[in-house]
Structure 1
Amino acid sequence: MDISQHIKLVEGETKALQSWATAVAESEDSYFHKAQQLVSQLGAHYREDGLTQLGFWTPELTAEVIQTEREIYLEVFTPLETIDFRAPQQTIPFRRDSIPLPQQGEFVWGVLSGLQPGTREQAGSFYWLRYYDNVQGVMHVIRDVFANSLPYGSFAPAELYDMEQLQQNRADRSYFQRTALPTALISRASLSEIVLPRVPAPVNILQIHVGTASAEGTFEGLTQIYRQISQKLANKEPLTPAQENYVGYDAIQLLPIEPTIEYRLDDGNEAHEFFAIAGDSELEPEKVSFNRPISITLRKPNTQNWGYDVPILGSTTTNPALLGSLRPDELVDFIATLHNFSQGPIQLIYDLVYGHADNQAIELINRQFFKGPNMYGQDLNHQLPIVRAILLEMQQRKLNTGADGIRIDGGQDFRFFNPLTGRIEQDDPYLLAMSDVVQEIDGYQRLLFTIFEDGRPWPEEGWEKKSTYRDLIALKPESYQWGPLIFAHNTPTLQGFWAQKWQRVCEVMFKGDRWITGCANHDTVRRGNQVALSEKIDWNLGETLPEVINNAYDNPATYLWVYGFSPGLPMDFLNALMRGSWGFFRNTDTRYGVKVVSEEAGFLDWQVTPELYEEPDAFPRLKALGFNKLEVLRQFVKALAIAIVETDYDLEKVAQICQYCLSDTPGVCEIEPLKNLNQADKPEFLALLDIPKLEAFAMAFMEDGYELCRVARYHSAIESGRSCFNLALRNYRHENPWLRENLGERDRFNSVRDEEKTIFYGMRTAPRRKPTDRDRRVVLVAHMGGKPAIAQLKDWLNLDLSQWQLAIASPDLKIDKTLENLPGMELKDGQGFLLEARRPTAK
């Protein structure tokens, strides 16, 4: 089947674009301002006139000594049959076009006709830039860092998408008209006349990992959950306990949803990659056929990750593994569902990762993006004006999908060497610029609510005690920072944890109004899994380790303190609310896979019971390898952890140790868990372990662990009393917004702390905004850990209980409405209550 070349370069429009770029480059503006203007036109823009404008930043091409010895062209793949975006795998014929594009300094520009735009209903043309180096004999690919759609992953060509149609069809346009200013109004006014509105801070936040938040693990699945809940509440129908855990929040914060790293092998990826071009090799352009269909195998992306392993490329779009439809509209549908929620809009907060890039980014974007290696991968080169401008432009395009707020990950990582001072300094101007990126949707503009995660002087020794957690708040008072009790060193499963943190607790109470508060999040629960079993565990929280960790991070006393008494902005973690599993799992690499497994060894102790392991659909891959007993699996993973430390992660040596200890070779095995495993009934898989086997084990462990974290598995086990209590507390916070403020002169907060117990207690009075305001007071008593104790309200707060009434009590605490049984009541670990002052009786 011969087909003609349909895509053509529009010479006049291309020259006009180049002339504009020349005028910008030759202007008197600063390097950074010029870069901001240029990068605004990078990427692929489908225009109203049906033409497509493209721009690439290609500094790697300007370094070529003999530029005539290579050819630059846009390679376009347009499907000739309908793509089923839900099919796990399919082979589709594509038309392959090659269009030479002109180079202009560090940029390649072009305006073309004939490209097919993607929409919700149809696939667009896929594209990337290619050039063949005739000197080295190598074909290179330059990808679009501003891709609007990457349905088949970061290593595939980007899909041209009609973003204007997407915005015009969104169901929440009226929401932005109510919360933003018209762009036309702003453009007519001077800067002194206009103050862009900033999205106000929410009352509380639910942190969600999209991949585990629904049975499907997609935005579609999450949208369906919230649509059902919204409809039920509109019809005044009761919610299930699981549904109650999704509501009572006016904001949702997603763990990063950008494309993550992918599974890659050094010796070829065609057998498993998501966009596999049949017979594609490093051919010279004239040897590639562009006049007949080619076959491309499309595989639906199935990457699993906690979200922070990003390659930066594609940060403007959504991880395709989180899109059931593989269409960008799916994210917008979710956002619109939140904005149109029947009980009032729910804000959406993006978690942005621009402080580092995974090492895989080196394969995808040019090296000018990087400063050098760090413990996560690569430091980004924020000080290079054009890189700085590109990253801010990427952020803006991402925000234009409809977010209401941002959390900036790892603020302490934004550092640079200042040659004028000779010191490493924080790049605070860049962090503040991220907070001031303007969102524009459907002709309306606004600024977004901002949270900074910043633990400077991390990673300095003792950083968690030295950090003030206030550096960015001081610079931008309307922003928030993660507070000291929500970072990863939060381990409430240990005896006396809250007593040890008393100084930080007091800081929260008296200056924490701009801190994100709470106890459970993606970092802290994972840190809980890593608590050594030799530590002093608070067994008052439960009889087994899973009971202890569930009751530590889903703790009624902690919720009473955080929601009913403490200043700040509370945040909860969905997996902890559901009492489901959580860990850092990824099926995206072989290089560090075994090491990551060793770091998750505690997951099997803290999150998995023998009963759960025996469920037929739990750990199917590991059981297929012969690990039919949980204890055998625990022993092997612990042995791996020891061997990895002893060999400094030399997999060859790890395999040799395993072979030695699990064989009949005479000698002494110094790794006790391996020695214990060397029994006649050990899994056959453990015989003659080598590197491929270790990597296969790691992949099975990761994928089984990830599947176990899906919260839908735990819906039926959620206790209605607990979910109802948690929801009541969230509603109480919304009804009493004054609680977010710091304690004042009329407030009291104290504790009973000794070796056996820790109890928080206090009294707060609502500030009087005007003389006619009545005193609204609340009393807290919360048993934060340890042995049972008597609530001594008379001694602690000198209360006349006849003037007080019960507001909320922990689910298993039975307090009379008259409070007659409150004096002398015994409180156990995790129990507590809130009292409110009775309103004066009208005469």
Structure 2
Amino acid sequence: MILRDDEASEALATRCRETLASAGSSFDAARALARRMGGLVTGPGKAEFGFWAPELLEARVPDGDIFLEILQPDAQFSLTVSRQNARFRRTRLPVERADAWIWCAVDGIRAGTRDVIGDFYALTWRDGEGEWHRIFDPLAASVPFGVFAPAELYDLAAMQAARSDKPYFEGLQPGEDGAPAKLGPAVNILQIHTPTATAGRTLASLARQVEHLADRVRHGGTIEPADRLFMGYEAVQLLPVEPTTVYEAGPAFWVDDGDYGEVLTTDLRRPDTTNWGYDVVISGMAAVNPALLESGRPDELVDLIAALHTFPDGPKKVIFDVVFGHSDNQGLEALNRHYFAGPNMYGQNLSYRNWTVRAIMLEIQRRKVDFGADGVRVDGAQDFKWWDADEEVMRHDDEYLQEMADVVQEVAGTRYRPWFIFEDGRPWPQEDWELSSTYRAVIDNQRDDDVFQWGPLTFAHNTPFLYTFWLSKWWRIREMVERGSNWISGTANHDTLRRGTQINPKLNINTRLGETRMDILDHAYDNPAVQMLTYAAFPGVPMDFLNAMARASWGFIRNQDDKYGVKIMAEEAISLEWQVDDYAYSLPGAFSRLKALGYETRDDLERFLHVLPALVEVTDYDLDVIATLLNSVEPRLAGPSPFTPAALKVIARAWMDDMHDYCNVAGYLDRLTERQTAFALALREFRTARPWLRGNFAWGDQFSYVQPVDGTVLFTSFRQGPDGEQVYMVAHMEGAETEDFDPLNLHHQAADGQGGWTVALATPQIGPDYEGGPIVLRDSMGVVFTRTAPG
């Protein structure tokens, strides 16, 4: 039986009042109280709950109309079925209030674990008309039906106690005077979007794949091309695994029957949204996106982290990608108005100067990273702003970014501070941001010397398959070699690959990269010469994107939109030109939803997608007018007949779902080649063996290109290590093939007459038999030589 612990509830409220009265500042008070917010298990059958609900004060809701609602599921309840009608026993408990803070301690409650489904909860209140309303927990640890449904009380201590990588954390070395361990940068990073990384599309499926590969390595099994995609990396960065938006027009994942009595019957759907991860609502970000959970248990994220931390050839670090710079507009329905500072191009700005909101967001971050991440990548750090009313200007909240980096985590009894990476392109969105951004605003302002930012070649606007790209970026490349030690490098990530699929094919495309557009795109973002440049020459930390390395498709994947879904499809339509040919479209199972709607061939779909974007633009996205005009096209367009706004939304949803399936890496593994994947792995191992390459170019190091260009861009790099090793690289970045020449004669430091050079790496087109001497280089070819410094 669920009972309120009166003494403990009153003590919570008393402690809250004392904290508010005695804390050094409002922010100090809020941070202390935020540590006790949400549903926290305090012992067997015991839990404490805390909410910040200023909206109830503003609505003048009396204490007697506010309750903690506990929902106990019946025995048949499951988290692994697509849809079910479930019954819950409802208990409403009175609460204690301290200003805007609401507290309640409970006995007899069941907490969820890997093997047990816990009780669900929400704060509920009754209005003057007798209608009931819910306030959901923004700091919930488990949200099996998303953030717009009651949360599950979860035993995080039990989850942590069962993790298999505790020795990894216990081995972290504390800082001076017992300070928390400080984790530093990784050698390189593999960026992974969980739903397209494996056929299973879940964190559990990805964990099994890592464990399977670990077994092969441990027992000396044959390493296949697909295995190499995951090997040679010291860190894995997961695209956001937080709960995202839900379907705008439904169906909802949790629907009550409207009965306010002791028994609640619900219509429940297993969350199945697809999203690239960045469309968050802030609420629930301490939990795991239920659409990524095979079992509905957040333990799956710990399992994946543990599998990576215990990999047999050395621990692989885990980096979380967190989104606290904006909220989708759906966040307005999940959180009270005090969280928001007004609209922006993504949805809503967050109110960073509201000290309670600030404290809650930092607490959400702390709880999420306590799953066991070694690093944190902060998305869109340039969006963390506040309005300075005295000076009437918007200011970047660098203090908040520093507070993020200062959060101390604790796993397996070990306190540590993660490695931090910031994506910050300020003064973006100022029109000249590509010119004026230094990409160093956070690096220069933070206290730690190992804070990183995304480098200038890593941002979305980089398109390395347009002619003259490499020379047009020469000034940024010079910055890379001179001051890039704290930059993430590489041109293939979730942003750049998506941008590549949006480029007009009529632009000045480097056709030497491939015979078809699909080949060109694949080779542009899995380019051996670019990889050689990144791993054998550039400072910083290289990062690759799994979909790019697998030469799999990618795009803006989000199937929740109702209002703007058709517009998004129109904006993404050009990706058909780059990623889908007749053969790929014709394969059984490919684009099955669109085919069922009448787009039986790629030509059918292409014709429709050629017309749609123009109509979206000229009608200012008026769906009624768009449908009317589509119906008048002759000869008639394939698809539903007649076109209606509703039909267009169905097509848009089918497009998103089919493209999500099409982007799954599992569908591309059989096309990977031995030489392609072996070369990429050898590059990563080369970098790992030479950690000094992370540093900036020093005295005696040189980076240049061959002049006069004469239609061919050849980059050369000469670097010297602290152990006397010298590394010399020549890479053909674009243009016509060279005449027969000796690469060592391009650079005076390499051609010093001392000899001793050996070929360490050569791109796959060159082949293993090349041992030096004259060679003809073509686009994407390169060689790395090494020697011990003469004398």
Does the CA-based 8 Å contact 2:281-2:328 persist in structure 1? Answer: yes
Change (3 A) 1:734 1:688: same
RMSD: 1.7
Counterpart in 1 of 2:758? 805
**Deviation larger for 492-501 or 744-753:** 744-753
Q: 224, 227, 231: which is aligned to 1:247?
A: 231
Partner AA of 1:469 in structure 2: Y
Counterpart in 2 of 1:32? 27
Counterpart in 1 of 2:670? 716
Paired residues for 1:565-714 under 5 Å? 565-659=537-631, 661-662=632-633, 678-679=634-635, 682-685=637-640, 687-714=641-668
**Deviation larger for 455-464 or 758-767:** 758-767
Q: CA deviation at 1:817?
A: 5.3
Q: CA deviation at 1:795?
A: 4.3
Does the CA-based 8 Å contact 1:94-1:295 persist in structure 2? Answer: yes
Paired residues for 1:504-523 under 5 Å? 504-523=476-495
Does the CA-based 8 Å contact 2:181-2:417 persist in structure 1? Answer: yes
Counterpart in 2 of 1:761? 716
Does the CA-based 8 Å contact 1:180-1:444 persist in structure 2? Answer: no
Change (3 A) 1:87 1:66: closer
**Deviation larger for 518-527 or 753-762:** 753-762
Q: CA deviation at 1:108?
A: 1.1
CA–CA distance in structure 2, aligned partners of residues 122 and 297 of structure 1: 21
Number of aligned pairs? Answer: 784
Does the CA-based 8 Å contact 1:805-1:838 persist in structure 2? Answer: no
Q: CA deviation at 1:793?
A: 2.9
Partner AA of 1:178 in structure 2: G
Does the CA-based 8 Å contact 1:489-1:527 persist in structure 2? Answer: yes
Per-residue deviation, residues 393-413 of structure 1 (Å, max 9, x unmatched): 000000111000000111110
Partner SS for 2:733: strand
Partner SS for 1:148: coil
Counterpart in 2 of 1:541? 513
Structure 1: stretches of 5+ with no match in the other structure: 1-5, 187-191, 282-287, 663-677, 768-772
Q: CA deviation at 1:554?
A: 0.1
CA–CA distance in structure 1, aligned partners of residues 23 and 591 of structure 2: 63
Q: 377, 380, 392: which is aligned to 2:347?
A: 377
Does the CA-based 8 Å contact 1:72-1:102 persist in structure 2? Answer: no
Counterpart in 1 of 2:180? 196
Does the CA-based 8 Å contact 2:242-2:288 persist in structure 1? Answer: yes
Does the CA-based 8 Å contact 2:551-2:668 persist in structure 1? Answer: yes
Identity of aligned residues (%): 40
Counterpart in 2 of 1:280? 258
Q: 46, 52, 55: which is aligned to 1:51?
A: 46
2:772 is the alignment partner of 1:793: no
Q: CA deviation at 1:792?
A: 4.6
Q: 134, 138, 155: which is aligned to 1:141?
A: 134
Per-residue deviation, residues 171-219 of structure 1 (Å, max 9, x unmatched): 11111111154xxxx9xxxxx9343221121000000000101111101
Does the CA-based 8 Å contact 2:754-2:790 persist in structure 1? Answer: no
Counterpart in 2 of 1:398? 368
**Deviation larger for 95-104 or 476-485:** 95-104
Q: CA deviation at 1:152?
A: 1.2
Partner AA of 1:804 in structure 2: W
Partner SS for 1:827: coil
Counterpart in 1 of 2:65? 71
Does the CA-based 8 Å contact 1:82-1:123 persist in structure 2? Answer: no
2:144 is the alignment partner of 1:155: no
Partner AA of 2:501 in structure 1: N
Does the CA-based 8 Å contact 1:81-1:92 persist in structure 2? Answer: no
Q: CA deviation at 1:838?
A: 5.5
Partner SS for 1:420: coil
Does the CA-based 8 Å contact 2:163-2:302 persist in structure 1? Answer: yes
**Deviation larger for 371-380 or 43-52:** 43-52
Partner AA of 2:50 in structure 1: G
Q: CA deviation at 1:429?
A: 0.3
Partner AA of 2:253 in structure 1: F
Per-residue deviation, residues 614-638 of structure 1 (Å, max 9, x unmatched): 0011000000001011122122123
Counterpart in 2 of 1:178? 171
Partner SS for 1:785: strand
CA–CA distance in structure 1, aligned partners of residues 279 and 423 of structure 2: 17
CA–CA distance in structure 1, aligned partners of residues 710 and 593 of structure 2: 45
Does the CA-based 8 Å contact 1:496-1:755 persist in structure 2? Answer: no
Q: CA deviation at 1:840?
A: 7.8
Per-residue deviation, residues 96-127 of structure 1 (Å, max 9, x unmatched): 22222233210110001121111111110011
CA–CA distance in structure 2, aligned partners of residues 610 and 567 of structure 1: 42
Q: CA deviation at 1:523?
A: 0.2
Change (3 A) 1:834 1:395: same
Q: CA deviation at 1:50?
A: 2.7
CA–CA distance in structure 2, aligned partners of residues 762 and 150 of structure 1: 51
Per-residue deviation, residues 351-402 of structure 1 (Å, max 9, x unmatched): 1100000000111110100000000000000100000000000000001110
Counterpart in 1 of 2:685? 731
Q: 5, 11, 14: which is aligned to 1:16?
A: 11
Partner SS for 1:224: helix
CA–CA distance in structure 2, aligned partners of residues 82 and 171 of structure 1: 31
Does the CA-based 8 Å contact 1:118-1:161 persist in structure 2? Answer: yes
Does the CA-based 8 Å contact 1:249-1:730 persist in structure 2? Answer: yes
Partner AA of 1:71 in structure 2: D
CA–CA distance in structure 1, aligned partners of residues 730 and 461 of structure 2: 25
Partner SS for 2:363: helix
Counterpart in 2 of 1:222? 206
Q: CA deviation at 1:816?
A: 4.2
Does the CA-based 8 Å contact 1:39-1:393 persist in structure 2? Answer: yes
Change (3 A) 1:147 1:569: same
CA–CA distance in structure 1, aligned partners of residues 208 and 374 of structure 2: 21
Q: CA deviation at 1:585?
A: 1.3
CA–CA distance in structure 2, aligned partners of residues 577 and 381 of structure 1: 39
Partner AA of 1:79 in structure 2: P
CA–CA distance in structure 1, aligned partners of residues 44 and 605 of structure 2: 61
2:783 is the alignment partner of 1:829: no
Q: CA deviation at 1:91?
A: 2.5
Q: 77, 81, 89: which is aligned to 2:83?
A: 89
Does the CA-based 8 Å contact 2:110-2:119 persist in structure 1? Answer: yes
TM-score, normalising length: structure 2: 0.97
Partner SS for 2:714: strand
Does the CA-based 8 Å contact 2:605-2:638 persist in structure 1? Answer: no
Does the CA-based 8 Å contact 2:13-2:98 persist in structure 1? Answer: yes
CA–CA distance in structure 2, aligned partners of residues 818 and 559 of structure 1: 21
CA–CA distance in structure 1, aligned partners of residues 731 and 424 of structure 2: 29
Does the CA-based 8 Å contact 2:45-2:110 persist in structure 1? Answer: no
Does the CA-based 8 Å contact 1:496-1:757 persist in structure 2? Answer: no
Q: 492, 497, 502: which is aligned to 2:469?
A: 497
Partner AA of 1:810 in structure 2: T
Paired residues for 1:417-456 under 5 Å? 417-456=387-426
**Deviation larger for 200-209 or 748-757:** 748-757
Paired residues for 1:298-313 under 5 Å? 298-313=268-283
Counterpart in 2 of 1:367? 337
Partner AA of 2:58 in structure 1: A
Per-residue deviation, residues 34-68 of structure 1 (Å, max 9, x unmatched): 11111111100111253110011100001124637
CA–CA distance in structure 1, aligned partners of residues 405 and 153 of structure 2: 29
Partner SS for 2:759: strand
CA–CA distance in structure 1, aligned partners of residues 769 and 215 of structure 2: 35
CA–CA distance in structure 2, aligned partners of residues 66 and 598 of structure 1: 46
Partner SS for 2:613: helix
Partner SS for 1:406: strand
